[in-house]
Amino acid sequence: MDSIGPRGLQQREGALGCPQEGLPCPSNSSELVQECLQQFEVTEAQLRQIQSSLLGSMEQALGGQASPAPAVRMLPTYVGSIPHGTEQGDFVVLELGASGASLRVLWVTLMGTEGCKIEPRSQEFVIPQEVMLGPGQQLFDFAARCLSEFLDTLPVGKQGLQLGFNFSFPCHQTGLDKSTLISWTKGFKCSGVEGQDVVQLLRDAIQRQGTYSIDVVAVVNDTVGTMMGCEPGVGPCEVGLVVDTGTNACYMEEARHVAVLDEDRGRVCISVEWGSFSDDGALGPVWTIFDRTLDQESLNPGAQRFEKMIGGLYLGELVRLVLADLVRRGVLFDGSTSPVLLSPGSILLEHVAEMDDPSAGAARLHAVLQFLGLNLRTSDAELVQQVCVAVCTRAARLCAAALAAILSRLQHIREQRSLQIAVATGGRVFERHPRFLSILQETVKCLAPECGVSFIPSVDGGGQGVAMVTAVAARLAAHRRLLEETLAPFRLTHEQLVAVQRQMREAMAKGLKGKPSSLRMLPTYVRATPDGSERGDFLALDLGGTNFRVLLVHVASGDVQITNQIYSIPEYMAQGSGQQLFDHIVDCIVDFQQKQGLSGQSLPLGFTFSFPCRQLGLDKGILMNWTKGFSASDCEGQDVVFLLREAIRRKKAVELNVVALVNDTVGTMMSCGYENPHCEVGLIVGTGTNACYMEELRNVTSVPGDSGRMCINMEWGAFGDDGSLGMLSTHFDARVDQASINPGRQRFEKMISGMYLGEIVRHILLHLTSLGVLFRGQHIQCLQTRDIFKTKFLSEIESDSLALRQVRAILEDLGLPLTSDDALMVLEVCQAVSRRAAQLCGAGVAAVVERIRENRDLEKLTVSVGVDGTLYKLHPHFSSLVAETVRELAPRCVVTFLQSKDGSGKGAALVTAVACRLAQMTRV
């Protein structure tokens, strides 16, 4: 008779007996017996007390209460959905701990919806005592040996096997395949395992065994396997209840109620771990002297007290302790004891189940007792049976009280008075003990009359259920691999960033020398940053970013006041005729002048024109090509100042004195330089991206003179247009480039700036959807729309303060029907794309500051960079990632990033002011 026996219990001195301490001594044996059996009677009131106290502990634990530590653990299992029957494939299941001193290996084939059910093949292995109590490595090596022994009997390959690990002990799970053992229970006490990730221990043991390559993709508690193994036809079961050597239950809780999970949608399966329930108030009154003795003699005294009143590992021992005491009192077996009654763990669940079985009949009862070496009179046999009935009835009723607590919880979270629920049951107490389920059902009906509970025995002890979870885990693991493969090209290595920095340095040098280079290194005719002596009122235009602004800038001593107005440049105008565009610009200026009471005044004007211009002077610049969604006709190759003046003339507007044409990088550098003289670099990371810096004039071959410096507009957006970035470009970048209005151009910009990051993300999401990784592979209409995924979503989604639920909300507003796993993946895609952008931008800045340092032959350079641009300013991590990359690639430069407060319009006005001051000086 194989068995689940309390081989874990060790004898300890000083065991106590019945009747209860402090109560008058009963006169005759039957009274004494009744007195003894009565202790196992639990009243309905006591059951309700246990029900509500357990419910209280469940809610405390769900709420994350740490101290006093709730009596139950409520452990999330990362199983978020019950199977939808589509799971397919062959899986190995390793069961450890559910049924005492045995380990079971199963081969389960899931046929998905179409196929019929294939009976799993399985093999059970007895775990030697010394293995259950020895070093952890020995236990896991034993498991790995059993695995290969079992697989040797099957016609299966040695590669690519997927395993679900049914590990029936309390664990902190941090993923479907990552679980740390909190404490052993039941007959196990291996060293070096508590606090460890049991999946890793098993993987290491399988590795050491070396015969099969098995991927452990999921670890599952037996209650979860039981619930998931519920026959789809009858379920879905939303509660899994196990009463085997130990006892426990799991159920589907609303994720938003689980404090440790940052979730607000959907459900998650919680392993209650009610075995540790031990609230003195509720349990004290029903906890007998026998329970205390059993607990003190157990492997884990003080722990799992509730389990020790219900679990199959303990029922036999409780019966033995009661019988032993009744013998000591001379009430049983004429007071003559026997080796069985003296040796802990000698009475097994099977014995109790048989003796408790009314249908077994006296003969069978005698047979069991003889097997136990107990010779007795009939009356003794009846008494023994009564003891078994008392112990088991109590166990079933206590189990019912605990289950009723879960039912109350489900009623509460489902706001349903009457609840119809299916409970999957598993474990040898259910299988072997004839009356356990019926007593449980009865008691549940009494404690939760408004709940319609159907008890569904799980098929093959949850093996199928574990295979289901493994299938889900395998699918998620496969998705994760596909996600990693897709995002791998976005994860730039240090070496790759150093290469970008080096290539940019080379391109800068070539560009300055006028050699073929993707960096045009355009002289800006800005020779100095403001020195604070500028004075006057200036008009400024700021075109090329998200907004077109007209500004009035009043420069006084050390103080600059700005009044500005934002005007929009509709797409049809940005991509219409140049004449229309510049006419619109003049209309805005006139509107601004009227509003500011400047009509008729001709203030010096600085024009921030954020596009590549070959400047022939401070107020003369030929537009080389449009970027960033602009393509107005008849402008490229034209002097944009002339185009503006022409528009002023056409509009018969007041003559404006356009003094300076400034790139937004230059305007930003000047604007920040006004407060900080170290500011010698300008950086824009907004709709587009670019940088400028103060270069030694001697290195600017296209401008005469070799003393002093001049600000160079790098136009780094075009870096790599010569293919030098080919090794970094992904097919998502190629898709975005091909769909842009300037394919093949601004390749660096298209990997970094706000106009494109959202599109890169959209193409990656489409790709992952086509692989079935996202949105269950469904066709998502909204994702087909260009620019639907705005870059600002990246900034919002990646914000640390956002819980996953808020990420989902943003994505659902977009029309994306997603699960939490989907939301997590979208978040990772955004993080990968923005991180690459920030690192590439950082590599560019590192190239610039290193050049300045070497230009000035400095050991160490301290320099500030004026920055502007929506992406840089609003993205939660972009700026810190840029700074981090610069520190990594230019360790001899101390770089401070100054976020421009007033935009480059102020800078343009200051450039104008400097020009006016210089012009003033030459005039006097």
Please list the active-site residues: 549, 610, 664
CB burial of residue 636 (10 Å; 0-12, 13-18, 19+)? middle
CB burial of residue 232 (10 Å; 0-12, 13-18, 19+)? middle
Whether the CB-CB separation of 220 and 164 falls below 8 Å is answered with: yes
529 is an interface residue for ligand BGC by CB under 6 A: no
98, interface contact from ligand BGC, ligand 0WK, none, CB < 5-8 Å by kind: ligand BGC
- Which one of the spans 3-11, 402-410, 742-750, 864-872 is the region binding ligand 0WK (CB under 6 A)? 864-872
344 is an interface residue for ligand 0WK by CB under 6 A: no
905 is an interface residue for ligand 0WK by CB under 6 A: yes
Whether the CB-CB separation of 265 and 247 falls below 8 Å is answered with: no
242 is an interface residue for ligand BGC by CB under 6 A: yes
Find residue 107's DSSP bridge partners.
Answer: 92, 121
> From the list 273, 317, 534, 583, which residue makes contact with ligand BGC (rule: CB under 6 A)?
273
544 is an interface residue for ligand 0WK by CB under 6 A: yes
185, interface contact from ligand 0WK, ligand BGC, none, CB < 5-8 Å by kind: ligand BGC
Site string for ligand 0WK, 654-683 (x = CB under 6 A): ----------x--x----------------
565 is an interface residue for ligand 0WK by CB under 6 A: no
Distances (CA, A) of 865 to 474, 544, 882: 48, 20, 12
CB of 188 to ligand BGC, least distance (A): 9
868 is an interface residue for ligand 0WK by CB under 6 A: yes
690, interface contact from ligand BGC, ligand 0WK, none, CB < 5-8 Å by kind: ligand BGC
Q: Which residues contact 669 (CB under 8 A, 6 or more apart)?
A: 529, 679, 680, 681, 682, 692, 693, 711, 866, 907
Distances (CA, A) of 115 to 9, 236, 242, 624: 46, 19, 28, 65
DSSP state of 674: T
Token pair 């009243």: residue: 43
903 is an interface residue for ligand 0WK by CB under 6 A: yes
Q: Which is nearer to ligand 0WK, 388 or 683 (CB)?
A: 683
Site string for ligand BGC, 598-617 (x = CB under 6 A): ------------xxx-----
Helix or strand holding residue 582 (H, E): helix 578-595
173 is an interface residue for ligand 0WK by CB under 6 A: no
Alpha helices in 611-716 (DSSP H): 640-650, 664-673
CA-angle at 813, arms to 810 and 815, nearest 5°: 120
**Tokens linked to 834:** 């923005």
Find residue 267's DSSP bridge partners.
Answer: 254
Phi-psi group of 397: left, alpha or beta (phi > 0 → left; psi -120 to 50 → alpha; rest → beta): alpha
What is the spatial distance between Cα 122 and Cα 116, in angstroms, rounded to a whole number? 19
> From the list 870, 879, 885, 912, which residue makes contact with ligand 0WK (rule: CB under 6 A)?
870
Distances (CA, A) of 690 to 204, 558, 627, 664: 51, 28, 11, 9
Whether the CB-CB separation of 788 and 762 falls below 8 Å is answered with: yes
CB of 692 to ligand 0WK, least distance (A): 12
**Chain residues 746-765 in contact with ligand BGC, contact rule CB under 6 A:** 749
758 is an interface residue for ligand 0WK by CB under 6 A: no
φ/ψ of 868, rounded to 5, equals -150, 165
Token pair 């990632």: residue: 881
**In angstroms, what is the C-alpha Rg of the chain?**
39
CB of 232 to ligand BGC, least distance (A): 23
316, interface contact from ligand BGC, ligand 0WK, none, CB < 5-8 Å by kind: none
610 is an interface residue for ligand 0WK by CB under 6 A: yes
868, interface contact from ligand 0WK, ligand BGC, none, CB < 5-8 Å by kind: ligand 0WK
Whether the CB-CB separation of 863 and 747 falls below 8 Å is answered with: no
**Chain residues 794-823 in contact with ligand BGC, contact rule CB under 6 A:** none
Pairing of strands 861-868, 679-685: parallel
630 is an interface residue for ligand BGC by CB under 6 A: no
523 is an interface residue for ligand BGC by CB under 6 A: no
**Tokens linked to 140:** 């896991």
**Tokens linked to 474:** 């395998």
CB of 196 to ligand BGC, least distance (A): 16
> From the list 664, 680, 733, 821, which residue makes contact with ligand BGC (rule: CB under 6 A)?
664
**Chain residues 690-709 in contact with ligand BGC, contact rule CB under 6 A:** 690
Site string for ligand 0WK, 123-162 (x = CB under 6 A): ----------------------------------------
Q: Which is nearer to ligand BGC, 5 or 686 (CB)?
A: 686
> From the list 5, 461, 578, 686, which residue makes contact with ligand BGC (rule: CB under 6 A)?
686
Number of H helices, E strands in the chain: 30, 26
> From the list 169, 548, 567, 775, which residue makes contact with ligand BGC (rule: CB under 6 A)?
169
Find residue 552's DSSP bridge partners.
Answer: 539, 563
**Chain residues 559-598 in contact with ligand BGC, contact rule CB under 6 A:** none
**Tokens linked to 300:** 């884990």
- Which one of the spans 136-144, 295-303, 658-666, 826-834 is the region binding ligand BGC (CB under 6 A)? 658-666
Distances (CA, A) of 720 to 492, 715, 876: 16, 11, 27
39 is an interface residue for ligand BGC by CB under 6 A: no
CB burial of residue 883 (10 Å; 0-12, 13-18, 19+)? middle
904 is an interface residue for ligand 0WK by CB under 6 A: yes
Residues that bind ligand 0WK (CB under 6 A): 542, 544-546, 608, 610, 664, 667, 684, 686-687, 754, 868-870, 903-905
Residues that bind ligand BGC (CB under 6 A): 98, 168-170, 185-186, 221-223, 242, 244, 246-248, 273, 275, 307, 544-545, 610-612, 627-628, 663-665, 684, 686, 688-690, 715, 717, 749
